[in-house]
Structure 1
């Protein structure tokens, strides 16, 4: 399996490098997208295969990774993937993982104690897992000096019984083992409902829908811009069909509106678009084609 972990992007004076945790080849389009229309497949098959869709199984190919951002002053992670050793019996893709994620981070030149900030788009299973690791039977912070920054709405919801139900599989047990220890250690910072600027180069943009307080994160440096999209989209097929929500989108209308905003914003401003689940390099550009959008990996 080829892991796209080494490409580094330059946004002004800031570098961004993908640190891949794992690849997925498990979801047929009909599962991931309840509104799936099979007739869309033929006209898009030329760019979907082989890197974004497995022609043998018909499953969509996805990635789970984090983005390592290095400024002149800080070492930052955008989300933290799924984590090892987590109890996820109802979500077997993430159950008792044993991936070399920290080794890949080290290969990029970063040790856990050197991470200054972790910026979270939301608090789902595959975005907060490496917040903690299992040491002597206890979940302890993986990045001992890092400030973890996330939307307050996410903490309020996923830290409450309201979110603990069989429908919301992406969050079952996640807050307890991957977020609560960060709060207890005093490393958590919250972003208000309206988002806003953080540090010198980042802006949290509210993009509710996939989750209650989901935010995309804009990066600016020396006149250049990028967007860490979070889960407004799970696969480049949604660039072509932004009306399709994933099976994991909890607020349907808001999810479509947020996806449309992200696509229009990226196309209008020519933003480099960093995704958490697209395959290949996982980064690229959105362009308009009439009243539709198109995707190009960078």
Structure 2
């Protein structure tokens, strides 16, 4: 996949893809894509043989073998469902203080223009889903208006996992003070949503409409969640950061370097992949390159990918 930085002349239409699942239209808006970090930094427990043995399909969309770099995408999934416009995760955002993530420190991009090109105006968004409270999932919750962080989507309910809001918020001292970025993320991308009265905290399950349901899926963070889509016989599951790379489908016991509770993350990943395989759900991770979505099947005690194109 070409890096967006290397493809500045690429048309905005190339950053959006659409698929119809039952009565729900799914639109993919890519904020950034390209090589992100060394492969075994991203998934430390996946040995080099896992990548090399699967190079024929991992490269180039998910891995650059020459540099041994994992390829990732920052993207928002827009769902038009039951008369609503729902955004799943909101990327990095512009102008943020992110000293712990130098690649996105003071980032400036054209995300809102990409949304507009896909026919989505901020005022028309009804619901924002933050699958969890990490900086690359909540950034465009807000934007800078005259020096103040203000909700980007003025008419939306922002659905946030209660467990993450507690962990990363002031009551738990911004993630127990382990990372400066956690405080900065909460203050510029979450707290303004609370002040505006637009935050909805939930736990367990939360039904958005007849097609869309949120479920807790902890491990990556205390409140990590997934979004299930079921419409007209079609099924999909938006898994957030449950998966950072397809190698975690082949080796579900391998966590990313960002997972906070290793054992819980593995158990959750296995549970979600088992259901996706049995229910024929399209698996839609937050950061996959390529088509951005995969189908999985059971392969003994593990899982394998179905190589069917859905986009």
Per the normalisation by structure 2, the TM-score is 0.91
**2: CA distance between counterparts of 1:147 and 1:135?**
20
Q: Does 1:94 align with 2:104?
A: yes
For residue 172 of structure 1, report the CA deviation from its aligned partner: 4.2
TM-score by length of 1: 0.94
1:190 is the counterpart of 2:197: no
Distance 2:105 2:219 in 1: 25
Q: Determine the C-alpha separation between the residues in 2 that align with 1:170 and 1:64.
A: 18
Once the two structures are overlaid, the 10-residue window that deviates more, 20-29 or 205-214, is 20-29
Are the equivalent residues in 2 in contact too, given 1:164–1:171 (CA < 8 A)? no
Which moved further from structure 2: 178-187 or 21-30? 21-30
> 1:173 aligned to 2:184?
yes
Alignment check: 8 A CA contact 1:152 1:191 kept: yes
Change (3 A) 1:169 1:233: farther
Q: How far is the alpha carbon of 1:52 from its aligned partner? A: 1.2
Partner of 1:247: 257
| Partners of 1:195 and 1:215 within 8 A in 2 | no
Give the equivalent residue in structure 1 for 2:233: 223
Residue-pair matches, total: 296
CA distance in 2: counterparts of 1:248 and 1:200, whole angstroms? 33
The alpha carbon displacement at 1:169 in A equals 6.5
Name the SS for the 1:86 alignment partner: coil
Aligned to 1:161: 173
CA displacement at 1:170 relative to structure 2: 6.3
* Kept after mapping to 2: 8 A contact 1:5/1:17: no
Instruction: State which of 65, 80, 85 in structure 1 corresponds to 2:90.
Output: 80
Gaps of 5+ in 2: 5-13
Q: 1:251, 1:52 → 2: CA distance?
A: 25
**Aligned CA-pair RMSD:** 1.6
Structure 1: how far apart are the matches of 2:243 and 2:117? 28
The residue correspondences of 1:45-60 to structure 2 (distance < 5 A) are 45-60=55-70
Indicate which of 29, 32, 38 corresponds to 1:28.
38
Alignment of 1:256 with 2:266, yes or no, is yes
> By how many angstroms is 1:5 displaced?
3.0
